[in-house]
Amino acid sequence: MSFIQMPGRLFSVLLVFICFFQPAFANDQTALVQLVEYVGADYINAVADGEVVSDAEYAEMAEFSTLLAEGVAALPEAEGKATLQAQANALQQAVARQADEQQIKSLAQSIRGSLVSVYGIPVAPKQAPDMSRAANLYQTNCAACHGVTGQGDGPAGLAMEPAPTDFTDVSRYDGRSLLGLFTTISQGVEGTGMAAYEGQLSDEQRWDLAFYVGSKAVMPSVAESGRSAFNTIPGMKKALSLDALVAKAPEDVFDSQGAEAYAAMGYLRTHPQAVFNKNRFIALSHDKLNEADQAYQQGDKSGAKAAALSAYLDGYEMIEQQVAAVDPELMRLAESRFMAVREGIERDRSTDQVSRHIAEAHDTLGLVASALAGDGLSPVATLSASFFILFREGLEALLVVAALLTFTRKANASRATRHIHVGWITALVAGGLTWYVASTMVTFSGASRETTEGVAGIIAALILFYVGFWMHSNSNSQKWLGYIRNKVDDALGNGTVWALTFVSFISVYREIFETVLFYQALWSQVTPLTKPYLFYGIASAVAALAVVCVMFFRIGMKLPLSLFFRSTSIVLLVLSVILLGKGIAALQEAGLISAFYLNVPTIDWLGLHPTIQGVLAQVVAVALGVFLWLRGRQQAA
């Protein structure tokens, strides 16, 4: 693979095609980023000291600057486009009058920054690039031209004119963003040895290579200095977010933030997991808390409430299991302080009081960042978090499905058994499709996630209550028990069979999507060293759930049918109360139900959340269950 220059006509045709005939706007923008970086990096080969040193190179620079101005003009209208257009025109005019290299680089730097600030980041890695994998990819795809060490001296590149890029050249490193490198790897450079790898390598692999070649010029001493700056200088982590790391070139950071930030960017290019480990969810929570504080100060209660909910659901909650694996007390403290913020807004507390709660939440996030500091979670913490995510989310669904299957197997109800299997298998497929659509086509916010879980939880609770009470009401009917042994499928009836199918579906579906999101968040916290422990945690959780399932089946199959009916009905009724509490809590977190908080602890495995609405709903459900049970006994007597 070769990052090299090319004849102007061929590259011009390529750029015109990319900029004006591609249907995706992201391709327009990334092509312009690639083009402006090309001009900034290679103008020195065309003009030196105000004199043209290569007619061919200068012709390319003039043509590229014209294409850039035309490409910017073709972009959609947006606030700031006029400034961007003026910058592109200025670059075109500077090239025409053979301006010095520094002026060209300065204009190119400004245009790159404006493209990103006006139109956003078109693409960014979804997970931390794997530098070990990148080293292997480089040797397989790039070393033949660029050399084993990246100095542009590979055997296949010796005859190329101009020569392949030397990635260890600091001056070229300073002017290239990771976004520009990723675009070049993806789209290639037509007419040269630099092929397009979009069809051969995945997005993740191309980001791996972009980070790898984009860090070749970083000296170990610079990276070590950058590590210290990134972890100790206040505000550095926020300034060097993932977007900044991807979109800015090192010279951009040096000019705007100084040498320490420049070194920190070098560290992040060589150790990209650092920005994924800490910044994304914690930074989002900080930003949303600030937004909530500002909105409440301005009297915008609804805006403050929405921002406070997002601070918890879209930020902190996504790393809650990782925090629990490292420091359970800190996890509970953070949860209570986010709750205090929401309660203060909900209850119209004074602005000073709400601001104080928000400040406490900020402080707790600082503790969370320190707890998760380093190059990712430890092996033990990774395994623990992975295990409890799956085991916690899967246990409730497993108990429901196992109880229903044990009942139908014990009663030889083959038709009902098939329906239950259809329910949970369909839920797996639907959950996977929901995750795919939400992660690739639409934005699925934390509030939307909680709404889905809350509605599904309440529906599941109602159906479980019905099925549980139905089992209990028939547990003392000797005639029915005798009949069920012989013709249970007919005895159940279509309505009950479909109720069993639906409760099997919804009990599993409500857990899947959130589980996938939690694992996405956990994935960004692990390193190549600890990544296997994530899978060990998943395997351990699956094994533990399998043990629970087998025990449930074995015990259930040995119980007399009437006793099994009564015990299973109790299990389902208890689960209905738990799911009801969790459903109410999810809808409160989504902001659809108001919350009045109580000074009692959260007991998640019981679905007990410290709000009057949730506790009251569970109390009513228990009271109703007891009332129906007593009435059933009286009728039986």
- Which pLDDT score is estimated for 90? 92
Q: What is the mean pLDDT of residues 52-74?
A: 86
Q: What is each CA distance from 365 to 331, 459, 604, in whole angstroms?
A: 10, 35, 22
Residues 432 and 577 in one domain: yes
Residues 471 and 552 in one domain: yes
Q: Cβ(587)–Cβ(542) under 8 Å?
A: no
Nearest-angstrom CA–CA distance, 540 and 302: 43
In sequence order, which ranges of 193-249 are alpha helices (DSSP H)? 203-213, 220-232, 236-239, 242-247
CATH of the domain at 427: 1.20.1250
Q: Is the residue at 2 inside a domain?
A: no
Q: What is each CA distance from 278 to 310, 330, 365, 388, in whole angstroms?
A: 18, 16, 11, 21
In this model, does residue 543 exceed pLDDT 90? yes
Residues 404 and 535 in one domain: yes
Q: Cβ(201)–Cβ(119) under 8 Å?
A: no
Q: What is the dihedral of CA 138, 140, 143, 144, to 10 degrees?
A: -160
Residues 335 and 235 in one domain: no
In this model, does residue 200 exceed pLDDT 70? yes
Last residue of a domain, one of 213, 239, 262: 213
Please, what is the Cα angle at 133 between 129 and 137, to 5 degrees? 110
Q: Is the residue at 36 inside a domain?
A: yes
Residue whose entry in the numeric block shows the structure tokens 């009437």: 562
Residues 90 and 162 in one domain: yes
Q: Is the residue at 166 inside a domain?
A: yes
Residues 632 and 509 in one domain: yes
- Which pLDDT score is estimated for 486? 45
Last residue of a domain, one of 234, 251, 271: 271
Q: Is the residue at 294 inside a domain?
A: yes
Q: What is the mean pLDDT of residues 435-441?
A: 59
Higher pLDDT, 425 or 633: 425
Helices (H) and strands (E) in the chain, counts: 27, 2
Nearest-angstrom CA–CA distance, 520 and 429: 18
User: In whole angstroms, what separates CA 355 from the centre of its chain?
Assistant: 29
Residues 546 and 564 in one domain: yes
- Which pLDDT score is estimated for 18? 34
- Which pLDDT score is estimated for 10? 34
CB neighbours of 197 closer than 8 A, spacing ≥ 6?
Answer: 1, 141, 185, 186, 188, 206, 209
- Which pLDDT score is estimated for 406? 77
Least confident of 207-221, 238-252, 511-525, 615-629: 511-525
Q: What is each CA distance from 346 to 20, 86, 349, 447, 491, in whole angstroms?
A: 50, 48, 8, 16, 50
Residues 386 and 424 in one domain: yes
Range of the domain at 92: 8-213
Return the CA Rg of the chain. Answer: 30
- Which pLDDT score is estimated for 260? 92
Residues 360 and 388 in one domain: no
Q: What is the dihedral of CA 52, 53, 56, 61, to 10 degrees?
A: -50
Residue-wise pLDDT for 482-508, tens only, equals 544 444 454 455 556 676 777 788 778
Residues 299 and 436 in one domain: no
Predicted confidence band of residue 456 (pLDDT cuts 50, 70, 90): low
Residues 151 and 252 in one domain: no
Q: Is the residue at 3 inside a domain?
A: no
Number of structural domains found in the chain:
4
Residue-wise pLDDT for 293-342, tens only, equals 999 999 999 899 888 988 887 788 878 877 877 788 888 888 889 988 98
Q: Is the residue at 291 inside a domain?
A: yes
Q: What is the dihedral of CA 444, 447, 449, 452, to 10 degrees?
A: -120
Last residue of a domain, one of 198, 213, 228: 213
Mean model confidence pLDDT for the chain: 77
Residues 346 and 417 in one domain: no
Q: Is the residue at 301 inside a domain?
A: yes
In this model, does residue 188 exceed pLDDT 50? yes
CB atoms within 10 A of CB 616: 12
CB neighbours of 156 closer than 8 A, spacing ≥ 6?
Answer: 144, 145, 193
- Which pLDDT score is estimated for 496? 60
pTM: 0.44
Q: What is each CA distance from 288 to 238, 347, 432, in whole angstroms?
A: 13, 19, 29
Least confident of 61-70, 247-256, 322-331, 554-563: 554-563
By C-alpha distance, which of 396, 397, 304, 317 is closest to 345? 304
Q: Is the residue at 1 inside a domain?
A: no
CB neighbours of 579 closer than 8 A, spacing ≥ 6?
Answer: 396, 457, 458, 460, 461, 464, 507, 607
CATH of the domain at 281: 1.20.120
- Which pLDDT score is estimated for 217? 93
Q: E strands, 497-581, where?
A: none
Tokens of 244: 């900044």
Tokens of 145: 């031209």
